[in-house]
Amino acid sequence: MTVESPPVHRKPWEDKNAVISGVLAYLIPGAGHFYQGRWFKGLIYFVCILGTFFGGLKLGEGAVVYHLPNNRFGISLNYLAQVCVGLPALPAVYQTKRARGNQNRELHQLAEPLSAPFRGELITKGPGEQAETGTLVGQIELATTIDGAFPETRGKFVGTLNGEPVELALNGGFQLERPISAGFQRALICYVARQPDQHPHESQIIRGSIPRSILDGYCAPPEPAKLQDLHGRLGKFYDLAIAFTMIAGLLNVLAVWDAIEGPAYGFGDEPVTVVSTADVAPVAAAKPLVTAEPIASPPSQAIR
């Protein structure tokens, strides 16, 4: 006769294909657990890992996740940890190739008219005077035309200067950052056209940025000047932003392992043994205890 063992709990990660679970968990944190039906744990990985990754990306102004090989192994150590987060970091490899293309260069003339929101400052500088600045917010319009043998870029800025309405004519050259680079703001410098009542030795420029498309800024390598600016403005927070993205990648390694192998400790890990009555040796019947009869004491002699 065999004693039936209790029912064995099936582990969720054993009911699904381990390879598919691991691949999904790598590409999107938590997706492997969703595939296995482990919704609560998958949601925790999804929110915590992606929240840490994109939080670091936001803190670093979109210029912390990029692939610039700087050693003999052909990969940067920062990106080696960041790429473990999966699909959100993979575009960096493709963006590096795009950034190194011949078409990605700083612009000094436009192939088509430019119209974009602008935020920056107006800088006025005269002879022997310290430059004065004012805050600009508004819309900028530029276009390059061929004036004689040389191209010339003209345009205007319409918006506010320190909160007051202003319109500035732009002429005399401009400098626009490469289209494919880190961050979602594209640096722009443009000269302001000289006014009739302006001092002969006085000059004005506007310096700021216009929006960059997500496709051109996400996970693209930054310019050296951009890195210097970020380190100067953000200081230790820029290093903290890089650390957040690296931590997110390393956490996803644990999530992938959990999706493939399951947690280190859980239900159903105990070995199950089947006990048979045939394997149990019969126990000899216990003999009853023998109680000795009380010994009768000899009759005492009468005391004479």
In the chain, pLDDT over 90 holds for what percent of residues? Answer: 54
**Lowest-pLDDT range, 19-28, 40-49, 171-180, 206-215?**
171-180
In this prediction, residue 155 carries a pLDDT of 92
Is residue 201 classed as helix, strand or coil in its secondary structure?
A: coil
According to DSSP H, which parts of 61-168 are helical?
A: 77-82, 91-99
In this prediction, residue 275 carries a pLDDT of 52
In this prediction, residue 121 carries a pLDDT of 93
First to last CA, the chain: 76
Top mean pLDDT of 84-88, 223-227, 277-281, 295-299 is at: 84-88
Q: Can you tell me the distance from the alpha carbon of 218 to that of 236, in angstroms, rounded to the nearest whole number?
A: 22
109-135 mean pLDDT: 85
Tell me the residue type at 179: P
In this prediction, residue 225 carries a pLDDT of 86
Closest CA to 245 of 10, 61, 32, 120: 61
Q: Can you tell me the distance from the alpha carbon of 38 to that of 119, in angstroms, rounded to the nearest whole number?
A: 47
> What does the pLDDT look like over 90-105, one tens digit per residue?
999 999 999 998 889 9
Q: Can you tell me the distance from the alpha carbon of 75 to that of 81, in angstroms, rounded to the nearest whole number?
A: 10
In this prediction, residue 266 carries a pLDDT of 53
- 148 or 269, which is more confident: 148
CA separation, residue 29 to residues 36, 88, 254, 259 (Å) = 13, 10, 10, 10
| Residues 206 and 142 sit within 8 Å (Cβ to Cβ) | no
What is the average pLDDT value for the chain, to the nearest integer? 83
Q: Tell me the two tokens of residue 95.
A: 């963006």
238-261 mean pLDDT: 94
In this prediction, residue 59 carries a pLDDT of 94
In this prediction, residue 299 carries a pLDDT of 55
Top mean pLDDT of 220-234, 269-283, 287-301 is at: 220-234
181-205 mean pLDDT: 85
- 219 or 12, which is more confident: 219
47-72 mean pLDDT: 90
- Bridge partners, 186 (sequence order): 210
- 222 or 291, which is more confident: 222
Q: Can you tell me the distance from the alpha carbon of 81 to that of 252, in angstroms, rounded to the nearest whole number?
A: 10
106-118 mean pLDDT: 91
Residue ranges and CATH numbers for the domains of the chain are 12-100+229-261 (no CATH), 114-218 (2.30.29)
In this prediction, residue 115 carries a pLDDT of 94
